[in-house]
Structure formats: C-alpha cells, structure tokens
C-alpha cells in the first residue's frame, strides 16, 4: 500500500491511497485539474480510480468530487448525510456507507467511524489491505472513545492538528469563530492530538501525518514540536511524525513488507 498527501487544509484536502487492486482518493476538495495533474505525474489515469471516499460535506473535502465522478465514472463512497449535500445530491455513482459494517473498495477493506464535527454524519475512514492499515480523520472537535479505538494499531495515521490554542485565542479570528474551532464539534488542537496519540501507548501508529493545519493559528514547526515533543516525553519518541503541507503534494508513504515468522519444527 502507498499513500500520498496531495493537499491538506481548509483551502482543500486530498489524499491518494493505492493498494494492490485499488486506487482511491480520500477527500476531493481541490480543483479537478490539480488532482488529474497529480495522477498524471504518477502515471495514473483518473479512469483507473476505484473510488472516492468523502468524510463529510464541507467544500474543502468535496469540491470536485461530483465532477470527477461524472467525468471519469468513479463511485463516491460517503454517508447518506454527506451524499445529501447540494453538490452531491442525486449523484449517479453515489455509494452510501454506514458505520455499522465495513465495505470493500477493490482490495481495500474500509471502515467508517463517527467523529464529532459540525457537519451531517461526518466520519473518519480506516483502510486495511494485506500489507497495512491506514486511518484518515482530519476534522473533529474532540477525541471520543470510538475515535480513540480507531487511532490504535495503524501503520499510518493521518490526524488533524489544526491549531495552537494560545495562537488561536490571541489571534485575529472573531469570537464566534474561536468558539467554533475550540468547541466539541470544531477542530483538534496540537495538544489534544498529542494526548490522543500518547493514549494509544503500545498500540501507537508507526507513522503520523499531522493534517489540516490552520495557516492563521498554527505553524508546521509549532505543531511538530508539540506532538513529537509530547510523544518523546512519554516514551514514544520512536513514532515518525510529519506535517502535510497545505497547498501542494508533500508526503509519500509506502508500507514496509510484513515479516512472516516461520514455525519451528
């Protein structure tokens, strides 16, 4: 399995996941030309996409999903609440999903799990193939018990680290927007992300990408120092932590081959 970060932030999100028998976009919140251009550089035709997974209906996650689906005949997998938004309503290739059972997209087994965010039926996604498990959850106001369970045992975790609380509180946002971001259905702070990862203990992900950073209330070095520093302080400094950039492709991850241990005769 391979994963690429194409864009990450409130101006648009998109990640590409490729298994042995599936190539899927998780989020489609940037212009279609940028997505097709990125795929072209990898030698992938948009017609080869197996599906698009959408976590919720905000435009920075759905912007070009309908056009991509209609143009290249790519199924859209999302909750009924997400599929009911204006830009996706009545999409011919809509595939409603729920949080009650996993579903398959090619060779990927996908589980959707509920997250607390100010959207209708928002979810995160856990994608599992023979080689690895990857989870993407980038818009949530706090870490529920259900979310915490899904942070465990990932080879790669793409997790929101939206803001530094002090920067947000002292920054230029109006009061109502600060309250929204800090609310239970807003966005995770660097500190909250660090604490959630530390709570995984020995089931912590092998690698973490910090995603959806605010350009006003955060900085990559600030987020990295807060999260990696906290993990190091609790004995989890071996976890690789990187920051997904906002406007351009920035990170690429490849699953390491699983080592098979043969039984002794």
| Residue 245: CATH number of its domain | 3.60.15.10
Whether residue 265 is contained in a domain is answered as no
Tens digits of residue pLDDT in 65-110: 999 999 999 999 999 999 999 999 999 999 999 999 999 999 999 9
Mean pLDDT, residues 29-45: 97
Whether residue 260 is contained in a domain is answered as no
Whether residue 15 is contained in a domain is answered as yes
Place of tokens 């995770």: 188
Q: How far apart are CA 62 and CA 79, in angstroms?
A: 13
Q: Quick one: tokens of 156?
A: 């790669």
**pLDDT band at residue 58 under the 50/70/90 scheme:** very high
Q: How far apart are CA 32 and CA 110, in angstroms?
A: 24
Whether residue 257 is contained in a domain is answered as no
Tens digits of residue pLDDT in 165-213: 999 999 999 999 999 999 999 999 999 999 999 999 999 999 999 999 9
Place of tokens 């990187």: 242
Exposure class string for 112-138: b at 16+ Cβ within 10 A, else e: bbbbbbebebbbbbbbbbebbbbbbbb
- Exposed/middle/buried for 31, CB within 10 Å: 0-12, 13-18, 19+? middle
Query: Which pTM was predicted?
Result: 0.95
């Amino acid at each position: 399995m391979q994963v690429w970060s194409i864009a990450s932030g409130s101006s648009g999100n998109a990640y590409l996941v490729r298994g042995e028998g599936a190539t899927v976009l998780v989020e489609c919140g940037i212009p279609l030309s940028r997505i097709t251009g990125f795929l072209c550089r990898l030698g992938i035709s948009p017609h080869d996409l197996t599906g698009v997974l959408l976590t919720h209906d905000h435009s920075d996650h759905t912007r070009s999903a309908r056009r991509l689906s209609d143009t290249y005949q790519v199924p859209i997998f999302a909750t009924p609440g997400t599929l009911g938004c204006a830009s996706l309503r009545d999409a011919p290739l809509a595939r409603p999903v729920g949080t009650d059972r996993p579903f398959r997209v090619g060779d990927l087994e996908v589980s959707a799990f509920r997250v607390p965010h100010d959207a209708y039926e928002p979810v995160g996604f856990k994608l599992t193939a023979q080689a690895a498990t990857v989870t993407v959850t980038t818009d949530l106001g706090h870490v529920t018990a259900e979310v915490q369970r899904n942070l465990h045992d990932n080879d790669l975790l793409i997790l929101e680290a939206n803001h530094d609380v002090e920067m947000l509180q002292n920054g230029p946002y109006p009061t109502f927007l600060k309250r929204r971001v800090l609310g239970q259905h807003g966005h995770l702070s660097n500190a909250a992300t660090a604490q959630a990862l530390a709570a995984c203990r020995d089931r912590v992900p092998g690698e973490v990408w910090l995603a959806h950073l605010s350009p006003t209330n955060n900085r990559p070095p600030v987020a990295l120092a807060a999260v990696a520093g906290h993990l190091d302080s609790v004995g989890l400094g071996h976890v690789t932590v990187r920051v997904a950039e906002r406007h351009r492709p920035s990170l690429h991850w490849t699953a390491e081959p699983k080592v098979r241990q043969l039984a002794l005769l």
